[in-house]
Amino acid sequence: MARKIRVLVAKAGLDGHDRGAKVVASAMRDAGFEVIYTGLHQTPEMIAQAAVQEDVDVVALSILSGAHMTLFPRVLDLMRERGLNDVLLTGGGIISKEDMGALQKLGVGTLFGPGATTGAIIDYVRGWVAEHRAGEVGTAK
C-alpha cells in the first residue's frame, strides 16, 4: 500500500491570520493526506527543519502579510540547503500575479490566491506528487 501524501502547512513571520491555512489543512486531511500544521509565527528555518523532520512531500506556505517575496525564497533556499530538492514548495495568500510568476521562476510551485478552492489545491498537490513520485506515494487511507 502506498504511503499517504505528507504535507507541512506553515505560517511564516508575523502574520497572525491562520483561518485559511486551517481550512486548507482540514480539507487536505479529509482528502486523505497526512497534514502537519506548524502553527503561527514560524521562521523560515523552523519551517525547513520541520519539513526535514516530518519527511514531507509538500510544504504549503500561507502568507497574508505581504512578505511573500522574502519568505518564499528564503524557505526555498533553506529547503535546498537541507537536500529537499524533491519536495514541492507551494502555498498562497495575498500575492499579485506578477509576484506569483516571479516566485515560480525561482522554483516555487503554483500559488493560490483569494477565491481558490480547496479542491483546486488538493488536485494540484495530487498531480504534482503523481508526476514527481510515481510509485512512491499515493493517497491511501
Domains of the chain: 3-138 (3.40.50.280)
Question: What's the pLDDT tens digit per position in 26-43?
Answer: 999 999 999 999 999 999
The per-residue pLDDT for 136 is 58
For the chain, the distance separating the N- and C-terminal CA atoms, rounded to the nearest angstrom, is 9
Question: pLDDT band at 69, cuts 50/70/90?
Answer: very high
Buried b (16+ CB within 10 A) or exposed e, 53-66: eeebbbbbbbbbbe
Question: What's the pLDDT tens digit per position in 10-30?
Answer: 999 888 889 999 999 999 999
DSSP 2: P
The residue behind cell 517575496 is: 69
Question: Which secondary-structure segment (H or E) carries 9?
Answer: strand 6-11
124, pLDDT greater than 60: yes
